[in-house]
Amino acid sequence: MSTAIINSRYLIFLVLVTAFVGCKNEAGDKKSVAVEVDIPIHTIWDFSMTLMDSSRIKATISSARAIVNEKGQETTLDSAVKVEFMSVYSRRVGMLTSDSAKIDDRTRNMFAYGNVKVVSDSTNVILTTPMLMWNNGKQLLFTTEKVHIVTPTEIIDGIGFESDQYLKNYKIFRVSGIKHLQ
């Protein structure tokens, strides 16, 4: 290699190093570049959690793995999510399963994703959808996605849905089909 090519590479390297090292803020201090990485604080295998109201169990949540991000105040359940809804007598009245979910740790709102299925033990209603949200403050399940509902008497398809956790009082916002079974 000729010395001219080596000298030009050396000169470019020197200019770049000087530019990065010589950066100063308005006070004349050298800048330090801080890269903030949002890494999880805890990873929990075979995760389970019980949600209570006073002394009553409202729901149990389990997943093969949970990733807790305290800074973002969010828990990600990334596989085999199962939520069991409990009655006032601590008896299971329904179950939600999904591929994954995110829980807002401040509000306890949950967003379930992928193959979401809710089964109501008390009403024998089954809901399937690609995504479902739980609003903890309003105690409502809802989605803006496609829904497929099977009841003992009919099958209903639609887009958009809102219900209590027992699937007793539900609304479908845009019904696209109904099939009566009896």
Q: What is the pLDDT of residue 30?
A: 55
The chain-wide mean pLDDT, for the chain, equals 82
Distance CA 87, CA 80 (A): 23
Q: Who wins on pLDDT, 70 or 19? A: 70
- pLDDT for position 155: 96
Which pLDDT value is given to residue 141? 94
* Spatial CB neighbours of 23, under 8 Å, sequence gap ≥ 6: 30, 31
pTM metric for this prediction: 0.74
Mean pLDDT of the 139-158 span: 95
With beta carbons less than 8 A apart as the criterion, state whether 176 and 159 touch.
Answer: yes
For 36-85, the pLDDT digits (tens) are: 555 557 888 999 988 888 888 888 999 999 999 888 889 999 999 999 98
pLDDT tens digit string along 8-17?
454 454 444 4
| Residue 18 reports pLDDT greater than 70 | no
Q: Which domains does the chain have, with CATH numbers?
A: 51-180 (2.60.450.10)
120-142 per-position pLDDT tens digit: 998 999 999 999 999 988 989 99
Distances (CA, A) of 149 to 10, 16, 122, 139: 69, 62, 15, 20
Phi-psi group of 139: left, alpha or beta (phi > 0 → left; psi -120 to 50 → alpha; rest → beta): left
Read off the pLDDT band of 28 (50, 70, 90).
Answer: low
Determine contact, residues 69/77, Cβ cutoff 8 Å: no
